[in-house]
Amino acid sequence: MASSAISQKSKRAAVRRALDRHKVYITAQRFSAGSYSARVLVDGEAYWVDEFRLSQLQQGLSPAELELTPATDD
């Protein structure tokens, strides 16, 4: 029974670490000519992304995996 509790704690800790890997914060949004873009903050770095890339980031992919380049200050 004790090993079951330890196993559950271990699994929960793994999930918590996975969810905390990177959080995606939307800091700005643009709607222009029927297209959407969002400025997001991920791990302290800002990126402009389209709706599809935003979805991928929110699913857990990293900016490096998506080959995103940091946004330049406008």
pLDDT at 56 over 60: yes
Q: What is the DSSP letter of 62?
A: -
pLDDT of residue 14: 80
Residue 3 confidence (pLDDT) above 90: no
Q: Quote the pTM value.
A: 0.69
> Is 74 within a domain?
yes
Domain that holds residue 49: 22-74
Residue 38 included in any domain? yes
Q: How far apart are CA 61 and CA 34, in angstroms?
A: 26
Place of tokens 């599809």: 52
d(CA 4, CA 2): 5
Is 29 inside a domain boundary? yes
> Tens digits of per-residue pLDDT, 19-43?
666 789 999 999 999 999 999 999 8
